């Protein structure tokens, strides 16, 4: 008997929700998706028991690396348990900002290698290259949306669905994933409850503030 495929991790699930299946472009800004991908990796690590959060700091609680090599990449940014002063860790907001691009790139590469996504290279004004990632495994993308819709109807009843919903909202994706106004409001409330999503939200808000104020 062939075993069922493993359940997608939060970063994988988020990517399947965030990309337009046909065109392969994210529904939100690229940078916001990068923040959300780092936040999703942090949330996955917390759900698996590898990290915790204290006063805005992400901290390792296990000395060994996770068996998932993509998640292990992010844990290397954190000090080992018991090192330094009590309660030492890394600012979750800063970690999301600094690790977002790397984390998003690793997961995009991994899903392309697995045949879930396809990488297309385009050129802006015929010069600057950029990538799009259309969904090849459309059944997986449809399943991700179905799971999300089912969790939303149930009020996001479990820690994993609440973490994902908060990340979707923090990145500005909620209006593209078939939610109604009440669902979007519920997702916004979850951001404060979920510290990885709160770190994403702070970075998104900072970028929007800088843009509206003429900053970089």
- Which stretches of the chain score pLDDT less than 50? 1-4, 215-216
What confidence score (pLDDT) does residue 54 get?
93
First to last CA, the chain: 55
Cβ neighbors of 71 (< 8 A, separation 6 or more) are: 9, 41, 44, 45, 48, 50
pLDDT tens-digit map of 80-134? 886 555 557 899 999 999 999 999 999 999 999 999 999 999 887 767 888 999 9
- Tell me what pLDDT residue 4 has: 43
Q: What is the pLDDT of residue 3?
A: 40
Question: Around Cβ 193, how many Cβ atoms within 10 Å?
Answer: 11
At 1 the pLDDT is 40
Question: pTM above 0.75?
Answer: yes
Please answer whether residues 45 and 78 qualify as being in contact, where contact means their C-beta atoms are separated by less than 8 angstroms.
no
């Amino acid at each position: 008997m062939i075993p069922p495929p493993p359940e997608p991790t939060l970063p994988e699930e988020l990517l399947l929700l965030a990309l337009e299946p046909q065109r392969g472009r994210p529904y939100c800004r690229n940078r916001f998706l990068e923040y959300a991908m780092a936040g999703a990796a942090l949330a996955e690590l917390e759900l698996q028991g590898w990290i915790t959060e204290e006063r805005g700091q992400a901290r390792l609680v296990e000395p060994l690396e996770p068996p998932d090599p993509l998640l292990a990449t992010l844990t290397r940014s954190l000090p080992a348990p018991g090192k330094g002063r009590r309660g030492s860790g890394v600012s979750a907001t800063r970690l999301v900002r600094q690790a977002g691009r790397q984390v998003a790139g690793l997961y995009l590469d991994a899903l392309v290698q697995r045949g879930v996504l396809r990488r297309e290279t385009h050129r802006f004004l015929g010069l600057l290259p950029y990538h799009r990632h259309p969904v090849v495994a459309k059944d997986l993308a449809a399943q991700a949306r179905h799971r999300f819709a089912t969790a939303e109807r149930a009020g996001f009843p479990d820690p994993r669905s609440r973490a994902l919903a908060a990340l979707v909202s923090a990145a500005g994706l909620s209006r593209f994933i078939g939610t109604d106004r009440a669902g979007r409001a519920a997702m916004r409330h979850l951001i404060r409850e979920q510290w990885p999503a709160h770190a994403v939200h702070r970075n998104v808000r900072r970028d929007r503030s800088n843009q509206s104020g003429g900053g970089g």
